[in-house]
């Protein structure tokens, strides 16, 4: 398989202005402006092959989005080399921009005041898509994402889920070979998340597109990515198989309980590690292999109104990657070398 | 190849204009309010017409009677209204909040979208502006003084004025790459254009030394020059020099914009970029 994305020692540093709060702080910052340099991405290296879907994980502020923005040419790196489809992204050459897309959950390409279809018409012209190809692709995207009823509505009247699906379809209208997806399911309900996930998988399957995906939802990553890269503090801490990451770093699941009557912390702790107890709601951390047994016992022995079994939040899993090790750089290095 | 690229660019422009005219239509109430706020030149006109009631006001070998003032300030009204800019706001928001990012991802210069946004607005408001303009001239009994040639040349100078205004605003807006208060500079452009460009006092009525300096600044090329054309106070070599100044400023400012844009993009780092 050919390498589509090649990154060597990629860095991004920002100069940040510090200001104390309040009026006095504002006054001080006028007289004595203080800056510091923040390293958002501290020299990451990796390669991604054609058709791969890679989950790019990390806590908030880890450098995920900054990396995606450098790969898509939005930000100029402070150092290192990047090659995407043989292009240097920061040059923003037309042929490069025609071959990639970046979908950001919180940023939109759709014209807010117009019907969604107007933005599609504009992109058809910008990307110089012939009429018949445009009709075919729009039909295909509409079908895959169930957009038929949505396209002619003003964007501002769409629900968040409808808008996100339109954003995705719009970003893929020119059939890019490389997709950078930054939180594509953020804020969506469970059904909509699944629809978007299915769509991304189908697009990858149909067009052998290379996809880099960030998400705080473990389900997104599990459903789509076999390979994950974990970034923290601007450095790659893990690069390898997802199952291995979960098994190693998240050996427990969360049992979320709604109780019919209040229970003491001592009583709940008899079943598993009590993570949270808030009146009639509780969360237990249970070893993966004990989940069926513990859930059955809880249902049989306690007044349970509702029970849900969930993965630990992705941030906990990633957090564990570091908490469990005596020294962060060593741990990161050993994990990386272990999978490479 | 070049021809195909040009055709493609024209198709993009057509679609952008269609889109932004549609956007402007959805904001027609806001446009109407803006137009009400743009009546200041007409108020200034009334003051000057009153001042000239007793006789023409002279300066630098030329004089303005009440009809001249009426034509001049109706021209100011039209120029100001047709060159209303909000690109500083768009760029300040786009750069600091990252709203520029979606535009940077398209294989199209982002400035095209910003230009089309302004032009779409003009297309929608132009019929009303022209209506007010003609009505003003009729009420001041000056419509008959306009010639077809001068009106056509005035329209041409309006294009130059629009481009100069646009690029000045754009350059100021791009300062948001470096500073947080680019938006606070916007009123300065307005003050400079009103005071130094002839928006309140025709440049001819300034002292000769000051007038000679002001006529070389972009503000006079944006406001006073179109006014002079409509008044038929300028012709021949002076007319050509006026257009040459406009073209010169458009080229200089567009090059400056390009330089600032390229330098700024390297700094594009908004947290939400």
What digits encode the pLDDT tens for the residues A150-174? 999 999 999 888 888 899 899 999 9
Report yes or no: A102 at the B interface, CB cutoff 8 Å. Answer: yes
Residues in Cβ contact with A185 at an 8 Å cutoff, skipping those fewer than 6 apart: A105, A164, A192, A193, A196, A197, A215, A217, A220
Domains of chain A and any CATH numbers: 3-247 (3.40.50.300), 251-311 (3.30.70)
> Does the pLDDT value for residue A338 go beyond 60?
no
Supply the pLDDT for residue A323.
62
Residues from chain A that touch B105, judged by Cβ atoms under 8 A, are 72-74, 97, 100-102, 109
Per cent of chain A over pLDDT 70 is: 89
Q: Name the residue among A208, A243, A247, A209 with its Cα closest to residue A228.
A: A243
CA distance A147 to A138: 9
> Does the pLDDT value for residue B151 go beyond 60?
yes
Supply the pLDDT for residue A244.
78
Weakest-pLDDT range from A73-82, A115-124, A235-244 = A235-244
Report yes or no: B187 at the A interface, CB cutoff 8 Å. Answer: no
Supply the pLDDT for residue A322.
57
What digits encode the pLDDT tens for the residues B12-64? 999 999 999 988 888 777 777 777 767 777 888 888 888 888 878 877 778 88
SS3 A78: coil
Weakest-pLDDT range from A10-24, A218-232, B182-196 = A10-24
Report yes or no: A14 at the B interface, CB cutoff 8 Å. Answer: yes
Which of B14, B29, B107, B108 should one mutate to test binding to chain A, selecting the residue with the greatest count of A CBs within 10 A?
B107
More confident residue, B268 or B252: B252
Domain ranges of chain B: 2-267
> Does the pLDDT value for residue A105 go beyond 80?
no
Supply the pLDDT for residue A33.
74
Q: What six digits make up the tokens of A54?
A: 């890679």
* Pair A253, A311: CB distance under 8 Å: yes
Average pLDDT of A91-103? 95
Q: What six digits make up the tokens of B168?
A: 């000045």
**Model confidence at A315, in pLDDT bands (50, 70, 90)?**
low
> Does the pLDDT value for residue B105 go beyond 50?
yes
What digits encode the pLDDT tens for the residues A52-91? 999 998 877 888 989 999 999 999 999 999 999 999 999 9
Average pLDDT of A6-27? 81
Q: Is B228 left (phi over 0), alpha (psi -120 to 50) or beta?
A: alpha
To the nearest whole Å, the CA of A52 is away from the closest chain B CA by 22
More confident residue, B236 or A242: B236
Q: What is the pTM (predicted TM-score) of this model?
A: 0.82
Supply the pLDDT for residue B128.
85
* Pair A85, A178: CB distance under 8 Å: yes
ipTM for the complex?
Answer: 0.85
């Amino acid at each position: 398989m050919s390498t589509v994305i090649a990154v060597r020692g990629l860095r991004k540093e920002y100069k940040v202005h510090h200001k104390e709060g309040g009026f006095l702080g504002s006054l001080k910052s006028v007289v004595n402006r203080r800056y510091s340099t923040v390293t958002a991405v501290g020299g990451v290296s990796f390669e991604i092959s054609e058709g791969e879907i890679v989950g790019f994980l990390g806590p908030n502020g880890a450098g995920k989005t900054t990396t995606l923005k450098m790969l898509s040419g939005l930000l100029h790196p402070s150092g290192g080399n990047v090659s995407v489809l043989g292009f240097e992204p920061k040059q923003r050459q037309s042929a490069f921009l025609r071959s990639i897309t970046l979908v950001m959950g919180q940023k939109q390409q759709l014209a807010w005041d117009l019907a969604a279809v107007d933005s599609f018409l504009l992109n058809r012209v910008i990307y110089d898509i012939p009429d018949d190809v445009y009709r075919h692709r729009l039909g295909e995207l509409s079908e895959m994402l169930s957009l038929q009823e949505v396209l002619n509505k003003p964007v501002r009247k769409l629900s968040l889920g409808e808008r996100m699906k339109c954003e995705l379809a719009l970003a893929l209208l020119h059939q890019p070979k490389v997709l950078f997806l930054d939180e594509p399911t953020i804020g969506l309900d469970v059904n909509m998340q699944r629809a978007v996930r299915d769509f991304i998988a189908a697009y990858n399957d149909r067009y052998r597109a290379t996809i880099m995906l960030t998400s705080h939802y473990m389900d997104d990553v599990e459903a789509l990515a076999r390979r994950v890269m974990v970034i923290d503090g601007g450095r790659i801490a893990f690069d390898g198989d997802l199952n291995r990451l979960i098994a190693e770093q998240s050996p427990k699941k969360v049992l979320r309980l709604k109780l019919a009557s209040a229970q003491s912390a001592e009583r709940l702790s008899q079943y598993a590690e009590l993570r949270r107890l808030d009146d009639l709601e509780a969360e237990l951390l249970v070893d993966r292999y004990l989940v069926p047994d513990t859930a059955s016992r809880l249902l049989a022995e306690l007044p349970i109104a509702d029970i849900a079994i969930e993965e630990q939040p992705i941030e906990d899993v990633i957090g564990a990657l570091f908490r469990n090790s005596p020294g962060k750089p060593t741990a990161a290095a050993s994990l990386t070398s272990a999978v490479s | 190849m070049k021809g195909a690229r040009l055709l493609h660019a024209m198709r993009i422009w057509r679609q952008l204009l269609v889109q932004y005219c549609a956007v402007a239509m959805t904001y027609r109430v806001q446009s109407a309010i803006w137009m009400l706020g743009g009546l200041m030149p007409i108020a200034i006109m009334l003051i000057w017409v009153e001042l000239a009631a007793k006789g023409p006001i002279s300066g630098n070998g030329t004089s303005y009677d009440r009809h001249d003032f009426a034509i001049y300030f109706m021209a100011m009204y039209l120029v100001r209204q047709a060159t209303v800019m909000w690109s500083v706001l768009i760029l300040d928001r786009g750069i600091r909040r990252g709203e520029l990012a979606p535009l940077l991802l398209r294989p199209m210069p982002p400035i095209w979208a910003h230009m089309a946004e302004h032009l779409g607005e003009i297309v929608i408001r132009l019929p009303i502006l022209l209506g007010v303009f003609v009505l003003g001239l009729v009420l001041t009994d000056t419509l008959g003084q306009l010639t077809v040639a001068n009106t056509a040349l005035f329209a041409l100078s309006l294009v130059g004025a629009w481009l100069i205004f646009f690029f000045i605003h754009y350059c100021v807006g791009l300062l948001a790459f470096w500073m947080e208060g680019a938006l606070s500079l916007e009123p300065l452009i307005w003050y400079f254009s009103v005071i130094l460009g002839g928006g309140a006092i025709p440049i001819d009525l300034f002292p000769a030394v000051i007038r000679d300096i002001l006529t070389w600044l972009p503000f006079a090329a944006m406001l006073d020059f179109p006014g002079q054309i409509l008044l038929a106070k300028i012709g021949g070599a002076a007319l050509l020099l006026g257009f040459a100044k406009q073209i010169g400023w458009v080229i200089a400012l567009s090059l400056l914009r390009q330089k600032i844009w390229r330098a700024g993009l390297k700094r594009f780092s908004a947290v939400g970029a």
